[in-house]
Amino acid sequence: ARSNPASYVGAFDEIRKRFAQQPLAHERGYTAGTFSFNAGDGRCPTCGGNGFEHVEMQFLSDVYLRCPDCDGRRYRAEVLEVKLVRGPMQLSIADVLDLTVAEAAHWFLADREVTARLQPLVDVGLDYLRLGQPVPTLSGGEAQRLKLAGFLAEAAASAGRQPLAKKGTLFLFDEPTTGLHFDDIAKLMRALRKLLDAGHSLVVIEHNLDVIRAA
């Protein structure tokens, strides 16, 4: 429940490093760990960085209430005072987590490490998701594409390293284009080709003629 698209592809680690490099963070002795909502002293002590409180109900479904102390922003108020500045805009770590992948890719356009980490999410058509959206709230199709983005991120990270003598992964897709727009199908096909280029193998069950032709 604490995982999100940004953490899944490693982008959140890079973003937290950027906040730790800010002058106010240096002045206060903050590290990248301070900007984690999973551990450390930076997260809200009331909700433990969840952003909500879980209330168990006796005969009804459990209720999740927005944390009254951090108002769902997951962090202590003093941590949110550290901002990244781009022109007239100033964003706290909570503000960055509220950005969509597309907005974040534009915001960090000059930061090659962050944009490279975000690119797999764009490649699989998940650029509309918020960086901090909890993974359990994704649909089944979104979760599958997020897994695909994780493999693409792994392939991109190992591209510059010495190739290892290991077997690739066999991926089995059952009609992955169902419900997708033509543009999203094109993105999916490019993502599948990146898997092939990384040494993996694909078996795709599909009725879409463009996908069949690409095989």
Instruction: Convert the chain into a string of H (helix), E (strand) and C (coil).
Output: CCCCHHHHCCHHHHHHHHHHCCHHHHHHCCCHHHHCCCCCCCECCCCCCCCEEEECCCCCCCEEEECCCCCCCCECCCHHHCCEEECCEEECHHHHHCCEHHHHHHHCCCCHHHHHHHHHHHHCCCCCCECCCCHHHCCHHHHHHHHHHHHHHHHHHHCCCCCCCCCCCEEEEECCCCCCCHHHHHHHHHHHHHHHHCCCEEEEECCCHHHHHHC
Q: Rounded CA gap, 40 and 174, in Å?
A: 41
Structure tokens at 79: 């941590």
Residue type, 214: A
pLDDT tens for the chain, 215 residues long, are: 678 999 999 999 999 999 999 999 999 999 999 999 988 889 999 888 888 887 787 777 777 788 889 998 999 999 999 999 988 889 999 999 999 999 999 999 999 999 999 999 999 889 999 999 988 888 877 888 898 898 888 877 766 555 555 678 899 988 888 878 888 888 889 989 988 888 889 999 999 898 899 88
Exposure on the CB side of residue 10, measured as CA atoms within 13 A: 16
- Prediction pTM value: 0.80
Res 27: pLDDT: 95
Do the beta carbons of residue 92 and residue 81 sit within 8 Å? Answer: yes
Res 1: pLDDT: 66
Q: Rounded CA gap, 123 and 210, in Å?
A: 18
Res 163: pLDDT: 54
